[in-house]
């Protein structure tokens, strides 16, 4: 057989990803009746403790930070967003909130667990193509070494995006989403080049809003009920409507996207927690 007639090496359909901060969203309802039954001095003491604890948690440092939001609508009263270096640290943050006296008046409504994820469609195509051209067998030791070297370069280059501070914007829009797996349309049966093309077109819309909204994508496959979480941060909530509506018309969203519940939160500094209680 000549090189032109050698069978092509079948490459995996899964795009490479790099992961960063572990993320937990906690949506809670405030037990107002029980709170009102407390004396003023007791409420003051509880708020002072909560304010001190949350102030320490909201100070960014080495990929560790929390933020408090007042939720608009009936889906909850407050939302806490935690960025940490690991799931163990997320667990400690959750337990720390629960141990505060104010935890007795916060009833969990729902939560979402995920991890910051950056998809590497372009890098995946290049490295897979190069390995296939050299006849390297997928998942062989040589293949794994090349893939890990690529991922490590990307981790270093993208460290600021993998371990960001929680943006200080006034508003947060959070929602989970899936890619469609229907009878006639299935994202996971599309070819790598087609998925890469669609994701590029999808991303170009987001780039036009770069000065108005900050987007952080988290992966949750195997962690929670949906496949991804999306956090949008902005000073003007109207940009959420405009961006998400425009994205509805591109192929990725129009054909393959399934959306979960949307949560809109107003950022509350720890020192002002009393204002929402």
Tokens 């889906």 -> residue? 75
Q: Is 175 in the active site?
A: yes
Cα separation values, 191 from 1, 5, 11, 194, Å: 28, 23, 11, 5
Q: Which is the catalytic residue, given 175, 209, 256, 263?
A: 175
Nearest to 17 by CA among 117, 114, 115, 116: 117
The Cα–Cα gap between 57 and 64 comes to 8
Structure-token pair, residue 88: 């163990």
Do residues 82 and 129 lie in contact, with contact meaning Cβ atoms separated by under 8 Å? no
Helix, strand, coil share (%) of the chain residues, nearest 5: 45, 30, 30
DSSP string across 22-62: EEEEEEEEE-HHHHHTS-HHHHHHHHHHHHHHHHHHHS-BT
The Cα–Cα gap between 27 and 10 comes to 44
The Cα–Cα gap between 153 and 158 comes to 9
Residues assigned a catalytic role: 175
């Amino acid at each position: 057989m000549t090189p032109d007639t050698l069978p092509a090496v079948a490459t995996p359909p899964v795009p490479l990803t790099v992961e960063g901060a572990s993320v937990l969203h906690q949506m809670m309802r405030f037990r107002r009746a029980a709170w009102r039954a407390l004396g003023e001095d007791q409420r003051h003491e509880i708020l002072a403790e909560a304010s001190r604890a949350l102030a320490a948690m909201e100070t960014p440092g080495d990929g560790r930070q929390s933020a408090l939001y007042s939720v608009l609508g009936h889906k909850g009263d407050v939302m806490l967003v935690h960025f940490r270096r690991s799931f163990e640290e997320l667990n400690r943050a959750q337990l720390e909130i629960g141990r505060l006296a104010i935890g007795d008046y916060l009833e969990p409504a729902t939560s979402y667990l995920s991890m910051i994820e950056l998809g590497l469609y372009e890098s995946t195509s290049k490295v897979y193509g190069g390995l296939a051209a050299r006849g390297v067998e997928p998942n062989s030791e040589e293949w794994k070494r090349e893939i890990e070297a690529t991922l490590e370069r990307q981790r270093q280059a993208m460290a600021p995006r993998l371990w960001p501070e929680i943006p200080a914007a006034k508003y947060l829009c959070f929602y989970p989403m899936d890619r469609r797996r229907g009878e006639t349309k299935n994202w996971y049966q599309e070819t790598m080049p087609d998925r890469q093309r669609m994701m590029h077109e999808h991303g170009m819309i987001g780039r036009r809003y770069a000065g108005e909204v900050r987007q952080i994508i988290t992966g949750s496959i195997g962690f929670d009920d949906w496949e991804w979480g999306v956090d949008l941060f902005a000073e003007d909530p109207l940009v959420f409507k405009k961006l998400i509506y425009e994205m509805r018309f591109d192929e990725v969203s129009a054909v393959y996207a399934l959306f979960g519940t949307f949560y809109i939160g107003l950022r509350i500094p720890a020192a002002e927690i009393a204002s929402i209680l």
